Structure 1
Amino acid sequence: MKATEARLTAALDRPPADIRLYLLHGPDEAVAQAYVARLAKGMGDGAERVDLDGPGLRGDPARLADEAAALSLFGGARYVRVTGAGEEALEAVAALLSAERAGNPAIVLAPTVKATGKLVKAAIDSDRALAFACYPPGARDAATIVADLARGAGLRLSPAAVQRIVRGSDGDRAVMMREVEKLALYLDAAPDRPVDADDAALEAIGADIAEGEIGDVVLAVTAGQVAPLIEGLRRMNGPDASPIPILRALGRRLVMLAEMRAAVDAGEGAEQVMKRHRVFWREEAATGAALRRWTLPALAAAQQAARRVEREVIAAGPAGRVVADTFLLRLARSAR
């Protein structure tokens, strides 16, 4: 079945016996990992997790169904996580969905498969599976997502609070989910006892989404300003701070700089290029420095590196912040 976000989260929080497979497809791996964590919580403390991957299932497609039917070594709850799945996992998924018995749910992360592919179609066509597309939302969609998440948690968010979470998350649904959950916990909110929440409530919980700080960090990286970068990272280094919004904002900044650098290489003046791209006056010095320091090949390489590091951050779990900070510092030093 094709799942809505509300249907998916309800099933992850209280896994129903009739759902064998959760297929999370699309490029937003951060939110997919957040849903894996949600299933782990829904399975209960001490639940055993079995890890498989897509390439491994290609050579042994029966293993997914076997693991789903196996008993836990410790006699408790058990679930299967499959990472890096592609269309090569279709046979394994088909075997799981058609098996006589499967006592343990499987959650499959397939970031590269298309929504029109055979793997997604197999999950949508089965009443034993839930398929959900994980894509970074646009600004308008992000506001709707935050409002829906809040409503599901028993929160009535003010427009200002919604926009603050949207801006701070920078399109990262996992960060949105975390901030809403923290706020609901602080206010003791629940669907059966909704609570009003405004921007002041976010301040009260020390929400780590101060406006402008992400932009300051990104500017410092691309301008090669190591000291301001270190200070910016220190300000954002809260216990729950996610580096994903920084890396995504950096990616967009590198794309814009590449467009501007191409215009400069074609003979257009740097000041004229910045004016045409409507660079904010406070950012002109840092942008000018970046245009002097970066070449087009270097910007392309940095874009690829930022995408790779985002995947590494997701895979690293709690250590992801260290991975991201190290990358940002190296990039800033290379820009010098």
Structure 2
Amino acid sequence: MAQKKAGEVEAFLSRPDFSFPVILLYGPDPGLVAERSAKIAEMSGVDRDDPFAAVTLAADELEKDIGRLYDEARTVSMFGGHRLIRVRGAGAGKALAEAVGDLAASRLEGALVVVEAGDLKKSAALRNNVERGRFAMALPCYQDEGRAIDRMIDEELGQSGLSIDREARDELRARLGANRLASRGEVRKLCLYALGAPSVTEADVRAIVGDVSADTLDETIDAAASGEVKRLPHLIDRLVSAGTATFQLHQNLLRYFQQLQTMREMVERGGEAIGRVVERRRPHFRRKAALEAALAAWPLEEITAILQRIERDILMSRKEGGLALTITQKTLLDIAVEAARLRARGGRA
């Protein structure tokens, strides 16, 4: 079986073995998967700016036309040399899993296929087909933790000729998100800010590295529940960049509407004023107005329907891992549109 353990992947990436022309990278951190895929692409020697030598394909599009992957993988380069085919957003697609299995069974001549996937279970067809393939390699990519975070910090600081004391390092690690690319970007920004100084201080970290994920998560849910449709795309993009997992968004959204349901019962069945119910919850002052707007807009029957919708979408996103982000985005936007409609109608205070 051609696969590496998580701790062996960095060693493989330092000297990739291209006798395995089909390489699968998978894991819960899309930034880490993308970064490692880019490294393999760079070390392949293929000119990634040459459209005749390098091509990037979307997994969901290949599910509709899987013949495209076979064509690209078996096409001889017009000007000689190797070709690079990168497939992004792979998940539970059956057509792609079968095609990758076929390509992995025999040696590809002059082509390298690199597949980027989400977090695949051991039973996932794509992962199984690669692991069993004679000419394929599976590389698990897990989130930055412990030594991996410190190694990345040291790499970036070393390139800038900077050092960092223990307190500043602890503060920096606490502020980095789960997405490898986003985390590296934050550290590079910090290095640029501290350039010329002998070392990075805790004050530098607090001044330049923002812990956006938690605050943005609350903002996103508040915007959806209160009907701020125009703000949502930007907020979702910020969460994705920070590496926030889709299941975290869905779970927090579910919890929010469960609490909203309890509060609305106090209004409709207990006859309490909206302001008093909200005050009893003691929300952060920045969230108070949005919570009041949501509580005023959503009647109990609509909240019940939304809770059922969220639960269905959570189940669907787990079954279709490659579409999890799309499903979550649609959930949030649909809720925001409905909230805006209810507010325009005047709600039922």
Shorter chain as denominator, the TM-score bin is 0.5 to 0.7
Instruction: Find the counterpart in structure 2 of residue 71 from structure 1.
Output: 76
Instruction: Find the counterpart in structure 1 of residue 149 from structure 2.
Output: 146
TM-score (norm 1): 0.62
Instruction: Find the counterpart in structure 1 of residue 4 from structure 2.
Output: 3
Change (3 A) 1:313 1:232: closer
Contact 2:225–2:294 (CA under 8 A) maintained in structure 1: yes
Change (3 A) 1:252 1:90: closer
| SS at structure 2 position matched to 1:158 | helix
Q: Give the share of equivalent positions with the same residue, in percent.
A: 21
Instruction: Find the counterpart in structure 1 of residue 124 from structure 2.
Output: 117
What whole-Å deviation, never above 9, does each CA across 1:117-139 have from its counterpart, x for those lacking one?
A: 3432343355743324467x5xx
Instruction: Find the counterpart in structure 2 of residue 217 from structure 1.
Output: 219
Q: Does 1:96 align with 2:103?
A: yes
Instruction: Find the counterpart in structure 2 of residue 17 from structure 1.
Output: 18
State the Cα RMSD in Å: 5.3
Q: Which residue among 295, 304, 308 is the counterpart of 1:296?
A: 304
Cα deviation for residue 88 of structure 1 reads: 3.7
| SS at structure 2 position matched to 1:109 | strand
Mapped partners of 1:116, 1:246: distance in 2 = 21
Number of equivalent positions: 307
Mapped partners of 2:58, 2:233: distance in 1 = 38
Mapped partners of 2:192, 2:19: distance in 1 = 30
Change (3 A) 1:177 1:129: farther
- In structure 1, the gaps of 5 or more residues are 189-194, 315-322
Structure number with larger C-alpha Rg: 2
Cα deviation for residue 161 of structure 1 reads: 0.4
Mapped partners of 1:16, 1:187: distance in 2 = 38
Supply the AA of the counterpart residue of 1:290. Answer: A
| SS at structure 1 position matched to 2:23 | strand
Cα deviation for residue 257 of structure 1 reads: 1.4
Change (3 A) 1:210 1:118: closer
Instruction: Find the counterpart in structure 2 of residue 254 from structure 1.
Output: 253
What does 1:140-219 correspond to in 2, within 5 Å? 142=145, 145-151=148-154, 158-165=169-176, 169=177, 171-180=178-187, 197=200, 199-202=202-205, 206-207=208-209, 209-210=211-212, 213-215=215-217, 217-218=219-220
Mapped partners of 2:136, 2:203: distance in 1 = 41
Change (3 A) 1:56 1:208: same
| SS at structure 2 position matched to 1:24 | strand
Contact 1:29–1:111 (CA under 8 A) maintained in structure 2: yes
Change (3 A) 1:32 1:328: farther
Cα deviation for residue 159 of structure 1 reads: 0.7
Q: Does 1:46 align with 2:49?
A: yes
Cα deviation for residue 335 of structure 1 reads: 6.7
Contact 1:160–1:198 (CA under 8 A) maintained in structure 2: no
Instruction: Find the counterpart in structure 2 of residue 192 from structure 1.
Output: none
Supply the AA of the counterpart residue of 2:223. Answer: V
Contact 1:61–1:95 (CA under 8 A) maintained in structure 2: no
Mapped partners of 1:150, 1:67: distance in 2 = 38
Q: Which residue among 291, 298, 301 is the counterpart of 1:287?
A: 291
Cα deviation for residue 19 of structure 1 reads: 3.1
Cα deviation for residue 49 of structure 1 reads: 1.5
| SS at structure 2 position matched to 1:105 | strand
Instruction: Find the counterpart in structure 1 of residue 161 from structure 2.
Output: none
Change (3 A) 1:145 1:112: closer
| SS at structure 1 position matched to 2:111 | coil
Mapped partners of 2:139, 2:66: distance in 1 = 25
Contact 1:58–1:89 (CA under 8 A) maintained in structure 2: no
